[in-house]
A and B are shown apart, each in its own frame.
Chain A
Amino acid sequence: MKPILLTLFFFFSFIFVGCSQTDALKSSIIRGEEIYTDFCVSCHLPSGEGVKGVFPPLAKSDYLFKNREASIRGIKFGQSGEIIVNGIKYNGVMAPMGLSDDEIADVMNYITNSWGNKNNNMVTEEEVSKIKK
């Protein structure tokens, strides 16, 4: 009897955690969209397409998915130096926007789940807080 209860417990808690994670991600994405419109859209543009050679794309960006930590660091502390995104070289400067850790998590969740991007591994405030310069 007991093992069955235990199994059920784990089963339901798994579903519950799964759901709350999805809901949390959804609301984070909604908040992230607001941040994006406020701080990012003027360079990366409304559909995340960027400007070839000047502002790297976020939509279907290989850099964003292969370099999750560096992407967060770039938003948190600013980005400079050469990077290669989808085979094209970028050497611009992105200033730090002064976003708080929860706002950075939100905007990361938005850009990694928009314009054809998909990321189920939610970025959390805690993850952002651990990333140092």
Chain B
Amino acid sequence: MKQFHFIVPFILMSLYSCAQQAESEVKAENPEAINYTTELVVADINIPWGMAFLPDGSMLITEKAGDLIHFKNGKKTLIEGVPEIYVRGQGGLMGIKLHPDYETNGWIYLAYASAEGEGEGGNTAIMRAKLNGNQLVEKQQLYKASPNSKKGQHFGSRIEFDNEGYLYFSIGERGEGSLNAQDITRDGGKIYRLHDDGRIPEDNPFVNVLNAKKAIYCYGNRNPQGLIINPDTGDIWEHEHGPKGGDEINIIQKGKNYGWQVISYGINYDGTSFTDITEKEGMEQPVFYWVPSIAPSGFAFVTSNKYPDWKGNMLVGALKFEYLERLVLNNGKVVKREKLLEKVGRVRDVVQAPDGFIYVAVEGKGIVKIIPKN
């Protein structure tokens, strides 16, 4: 019995270390048949970070270094009046989203790193503006995270609207997870919710907490670069870059804590461990986590009839492995993963456009359209 007591901790320890980095049970497979072709519709863009499709079928593309590109009738035009961008590490001009009522109000929402405010460095900001010819006008900054930091990591930043018209956006923990992600009085490592004009909703979860950042909707997120409404449920889903073997998909709920960096399935990128626990009371479990990490960026639900085999599936860009991942859900669980567009390059964004086609933004390349074979 004494010996048994002695052995138990070792067994537990080995179980823990195995559990932490065991490859995901659902592995990314190669497709049985490839039922699509691809077409490079916009060429020569360094880092196409985000895409939005205007009602006339033209496209707005953010390039990380600060260009806002309008692609219309086969021609690229640079939009003038883009806010000053703090280009540093992973930060730059990032997410773009049209207001759900764009056709009547013309609002375009942009996420970008900005050096405005106090302190050296920069942090993520959200702006809305309108397009007048080739000029951004009526610019309104809706949010600016603080303090500024010279760190290169984890700016977020995607933008999404829910069915009630609330505006959500993501800001990563700026490379300081232990400082920012669990502290609701600090920016970073959060998903935020605002009214479309930047006002803070009265029923945001922390409006009555002293010194809290009132725009916070949930916290404990490391670096979310995927934020999208689930068309079936109306919930907002996010995915985030985790540590090594800890990228996650979560369903965003009001006031919830997603655990970074107290709980995680991952380890540090240098191989050292920073936590022994993967779950804790009061902290949410992910819908899915990737081992190994794929470095997810861009998120789409397929609803279009153009891809009958993919309907209801999720698409996620895999920056690290340079493909587009298709994830099949069953009862809220990921049951199948498939590699699309293998070796296409670093996939930064994926969008199902109003024309029903799926467009993929690839670093060093441009915008690729997926065309189903009949």
- Chain A residues proximal to chain B, CB less than 8 Å: 38-39, 41-42, 46, 54, 78, 80, 92-93, 95-99
Contact = CB atoms under 8 A, between A and B. Distances in A.
Contacts of A54: 322
Contact of B89 (A39, A46, A92, A93): A39
- Most-contacted residue by chain B among A42, A46, A97 (CB, 10 A): A42
A97 B364 contact: no
Contacts of A95: 46-47, 64-65, 92
A13 B47 CA distance: 50
B153 interface: yes
B256 to A, nearest CB: 28
Nearest to A37: B270
Contacts, number: 40
A93 B270 contact: no
A96 B65 contact: yes
Given A78-B46, A95-B46, A38 B152 contact: yes
Contacts of B269: 41-42, 46
Contact of B364 (A38, A41, A93): A93
B107 interface: no
Interface SS of B by simple majority? loop
Contact of A97 (B46, B89, B346): B89
Contacts of B89: 38-39, 97-98
A38 B47 contact: no
A63 B307 CA distance: 45
- Most-contacted residue by chain B among A46, A93, A95, A97 (CB, 10 A): A95
Interface in B80-98: 86-89, 91-92
Contacts of A97: 88-89, 152
